[in-house]
Every structure is written in structure tokens, then in C-alpha cells.
Chains A and B, each alone.
Chain A
């Protein structure tokens, strides 16, 4: 919809001694909101993104390097976290970093009666009883990361998860089409 996030990726590059890790690449994520200085909310989202990306990036191929991922929020109209996840994945893909699988982010909002809305707008998010975000990977549709805001029952979470896995298919198709388009010319 109207939510836009711009992702920029640098790496693998040299890193200072304190940050370097002999096992693999160190991943750093920076999320910049549009207005104001980055606050605690941004930090927590950065950590979530970082964990997800670490699970996917084959860091062992580039030890003692750093990979920096910068995300700038251009506009926020709901489902911001999953938009960031998608932007991050496409950025990693475009940069040519070795990945074990792709991932995508899907947000679900649970209405008061238990109605599931995928990819909610800001309005729908506010009115929802619970908002769940999942990061789903491409190879086996497993869940890489899940975050909830609000309360929901276990069954509802199951349903949201299943719906999210369906939606993931659509998103991966979008990835494929856009990459194909870019490299076919």
C-alpha cells in the first residue's frame, strides 16, 4: 500500500577489531524513522531484523567482516515491520550476499470478532485486538520470527500463521518476478 521503506546495504567490509568475529560476518541493522531521532521502538525492531537476517545470511563465508543494513522509513501506513523485513530481504538479494533462504514478512491483524486481516493499514492496526507479524522463510515456509502486540488465543495464532504462510507464497512470487524483470534486460 502506502508504506514505503528504503533499504541500503554495505558489505562485507572491513571492521574494527572490537567488532570483528572470527566465525563469520557481523551484521548491523540501522532503522531510521522519518521524524525524530531513533528511539527504543526502533532499537527493538532493529534487533528483530538482525536476528532474522543472521539466521539467513551465510556469515561463515565472510569471517571478520561487517555487513551494514540501513533502512529508512519513507512513509508509514501500517504493517511497517513486515515492510522492513521485505525490504531487507530484497536488499540482501540485490547485493548478492550468500543466503541460505529468502524470507518475507507478513502482518496479520485480529479483529474483535476474530476476523483476520492480512497486511492491515494503520487504521486497521489500531482497531485490532492483536497484531501479529511473522517472518517466514522460503524453503519450507517455516517461521523465522514472530512478534505479537495484544493478546490472542492459541488457535487464532495458528490461523494467522497459516494465513501468513499462504501470503508468503504471493510475496515470494513477487520477489521472483521483480528480480527476473531486473535481470532480463
Chain B
């Protein structure tokens, strides 16, 4: 008796759904979810295989699949899974790589299959292999024509994309062994996987040909056990292949009729956790008026904006900004006067330096908080310039700082950094 009530040879429910792009599908095996995406590009072929296209597989364990999966870690499990999928699909020659060749020795199609494990509830291998095969069947590559030396790739609007030539569909079936081969389970769930002694994976296609077989875990199997497993596999593969075909046909039909398709549609309405909303029209009629109000409110401040305001000798300010520590450097070059401690402590303002005389205007600048409505620059924190002592300054050189646009961005970035 299994935890979820299945029999020894029962598979969990398999569900296949497609995305709006060609070659995108999500396979659910019980709770285990795998997303597969196929993409292609033209590349020069491998030197020792000039007439064959390239197949590239990438399996990623997303951290959302299980708390133990960290990004960037090449765990053993990942390597093993990758290798298995590769062997299963590449060595069985289910894809005709010769047909992927465009110009021998120069340009071939490189097909890239990306699999992301979204949820790990046991038996990633099976789900991943199903996802890979379904995505490959679903994918359409752009049509290409060769005229002499010229290769023209047609976009999907110009000519219908062409499906890949797939000879057969190998599907992996996993068996978990317990207690030295006495107990055998098909499609182990996550808990069963943790306590199993050994694992046997058989990849078979619907013509009852074994594409790949791998036994790991070091359990010793009797010959008739292996044969029995392969018979079970044949049955399962037939079922799953039928399911895939039906799903592909359904999707094809919907696409032809121009109906809506994609993940957003495939979530059934009855599920409690799913919620759909029709595209809502947002009333933007009085938005303009509202915006104008904000702008008019902002206008008065912008006049203040235009006048350079002197905070400290040698630094003027146009617009709000963040102080840059250049201020200190500049000042130190000048003829000496007492440095403002305040300046270095306060957060930065970006300044535009202007020629200045004395700073009688300084005091007035100090008291004048420049109020900019939040709308102009989001969440500008206006800092009162600190207590500054009056000083005489003779000449300051004119320094052109960044253009206002750049200043804007820099301010934003610095502000975010300061937060």
C-alpha cells in the first residue's frame, strides 16, 4: 500500500499544457511540474559533424522546486539527470539531425531544449523526458530556403514554420526498488525516492524499442525482474504517448481556430486558487486633468528650480540632487578657507558650478526649502543645508556637470542606493 493509495504499478496523473509560444509546454506528473521550452538558431556546425544539426539540452532545478536547490550548484543529481535526458534523446536518434542542416559545413540549426523543474514531488526524470519530447513535437522552426550561396530565413509571418522531423518518442519510466528487489514501485514520489534502495530507468518508445536503460543504486536485479519492468514500461509508454498525441492535437485545433491558448487560458476556472479577469478598461479620461493639476502645482517650484541657489561658497545648486564628493576635492584646490564640515557629512547634492561672488544669497538659500511635488521626482528627500559660515570666495571655475538627464538617472540610482 503506497502513501497516496496507488497500486505498485500505477502512474500518477499526467497533464500536459502548452504555452502561447511554439515549443513551450508544462508537464505535470502529480505535483511534479516541469516546464520545457525549445528554441533554435543558426550556427556553424561542429567541425567533425559538418552535416548534422546540434541538439543541446539544459535541465535546471529551479530553487522553487525544493528548498534544497540552490542556483549555480552543479549537484550530482542535476548532472545525472542531465546526462540521462541527453542520452535518451540524443543517442536514440529520435530527432533527425541531418534535416537540421542548412548549408553543409557552414550553417546548421542548433536546437536548444531548456527544462526547468518547477516543483519537485518525485520522479523528475519521467516528467522531464515527457516535457522534452512534447516540446520538441510542439516546436516549429522557421522555414529556410537556400539559393546558391544565399540563405534566407523566413519569419513566421512570411511562411509557416516547419515542424521538426521526429522519428519516435522515447519516454522514460522509472522504477524504484526496495529491500533488495523484493518490492518494486513505478513512478516514485518524493518520499519514496528518499528511502529507495535503487532506481531503474527505462526509456522506451511506442514501438517497444528500448532507447536507454540505466540502473543505479547498486541493487542486484534478477533477469526476469528486468524483463518484467520492460513489459510494464511498454504498457505505460503506450498510454502516455496516446495522451501526448491527444494533447498535441487539441492544441493544434485551438490554434487553427484562432482561439485563445496559453497558460493563462489553460488554468481551469473552477480551481479555487486560480482567478481570471477579463482585460479591464481603465478610465483614463480624467487622467489628463489630474496630470495637469500636478504639473501646475509643480510649476511654481520649477521656477525656483531655474535660479541657481548658493548653499556654500563655490557650490550652487540647480535642481535637487545628490551631493557628490567632488565638492570636497574642488574646494581643496581653491584658495583656502575653512572647509565646511557640514558638507562632507551631509548627503550628496549634484551641483552645477557657477561663477560666484560672495554669498550674500547664501543665507536666503538656506532658509528656503525647495518643495518639489513628489510627482516630479519620486520621493525626493530634501535636505536642509547645514549651518554654513559665510565666506568670501573670489572665483570659481565654471564646471559643466552632467546633462540634466544623466543627473536625473544618477540621482535616482544614488537615492536607491541610499535607501
- Give A contacts to B, CB under 8 Å: 1-2, 4, 6-8, 10, 13, 30, 32, 34-36, 51, 55, 68, 70, 72, 74-75, 77, 116, 118-119, 142-143, 146, 151, 154-155, 158-159, 161-163, 166-167, 170, 174, 177-178, 181-182, 185
B67 lies within 8 A of chain A by Cβ = yes
A-B contacts at CB below 8 angstroms, number: 111
B37 lies within 8 A of chain A by Cβ = yes
Give A48 Cβ to nearest chain B Cβ, in Å.
9
Select B118's contact among A1, A6, A163, A185, beta carbons within 8 Å: A6
- Asked whether, in the complex, the Cβ of B272 is within 8 Å of the Cβ of A2, the reply is no
B288 lies within 8 A of chain A by Cβ = yes
Give A168 Cβ to nearest chain B Cβ, in Å.
9
Most chain B beta-carbon contacts within 10 A, residue among A30, A68, A158, A166: A158
- Asked whether, in the complex, the Cβ of B378 is within 8 Å of the Cβ of A143, the reply is yes
Select A4's contact among B37, B263, B288, beta carbons within 8 Å: B263
- Asked whether, in the complex, the Cβ of B284 is within 8 Å of the Cβ of A116, the reply is yes
B257 lies within 8 A of chain A by Cβ = no
Give A86 Cβ to nearest chain B Cβ, in Å.
12
Most chain B beta-carbon contacts within 10 A, residue among A55, A68, A74, A181: A74
Question: What is the bound-complex CA distance between A82 and B279, given in angstroms?
Answer: 15
Select A118's contact among B262, B284, B379, beta carbons within 8 Å: B284
Residues of A within 8 A of B379 (CB): 142-143
Stretch at the interface among B16-24, B46-54, B98-106, B221-229: B16-24
Interface of A, secondary structure class, is mixed
B283 lies within 8 A of chain A by Cβ = yes
Interface readout for B289-327 with A: 1 if CB under 8 Å, 0 if not?
011001100000000000000000000000000000000
B236 lies within 8 A of chain A by Cβ = no
Which residues of B (361-419) have their CB < 8 Å from a CB of A? 374-376, 378-379, 405, 412, 416, 419
B353 lies within 8 A of chain A by Cβ = no
B161 lies within 8 A of chain A by Cβ = no
- Asked whether, in the complex, the Cβ of B114 is within 8 Å of the Cβ of A36, the reply is yes
B1 lies within 8 A of chain A by Cβ = no
- Asked whether, in the complex, the Cβ of A75 is within 8 Å of the Cβ of B21, the reply is yes
Complex: chain B residue closest to A134, CB-CB: B378
- Asked whether, in the complex, the Cβ of A32 is within 8 Å of the Cβ of B62, the reply is yes
Most chain A beta-carbon contacts within 10 A, residue among B35, B71, B282, B291: B282
Residues of B within 8 A of A4 (CB): 19, 262-264
Residues of B within 8 A of A167 (CB): 282
Task: Tally B residues with Cβ within 8 Å of A.
Answer: 45
Which residues of B (30-80) have their CB < 8 Å from a CB of A? 35, 37, 39, 60, 62-64, 67, 71
Select B63's contact among A10, A55, A155, A181, beta carbons within 8 Å: A10
Question: What is the bound-complex CA distance between A7 and B287, given in angstroms?
Answer: 32
- Asked whether, in the complex, the Cβ of A162 is within 8 Å of the Cβ of B287, the reply is yes
Select A35's contact among B114, B273, B376, beta carbons within 8 Å: B114
- Asked whether, in the complex, the Cβ of A163 is within 8 Å of the Cβ of B284, the reply is yes
- Asked whether, in the complex, the Cβ of A13 is within 8 Å of the Cβ of B67, the reply is yes
Residues of B within 8 A of A75 (CB): 19-21, 24, 262-263
Given contacts A158-B291, A159-B288, A174-B275, are A34 and B24 in contact (CB under 8 A)? yes
Residues of A within 8 A of B376 (CB): 154
B146 lies within 8 A of chain A by Cβ = no
Question: What is the bound-complex CA distance between A142 and B64, given in angstroms?
Answer: 31
Give B374 Cβ to nearest chain A Cβ, in Å.
7
B277 lies within 8 A of chain A by Cβ = yes
- Asked whether, in the complex, the Cβ of B275 is within 8 Å of the Cβ of A178, the reply is yes
B208 lies within 8 A of chain A by Cβ = no
Question: What is the bound-complex CA distance between A35 and B116, given in angstroms?
Answer: 10
- Asked whether, in the complex, the Cβ of B62 is within 8 Å of the Cβ of A70, the reply is yes
Given contacts A75-B24, A166-B282, are A158 and B67 in contact (CB under 8 A)? no
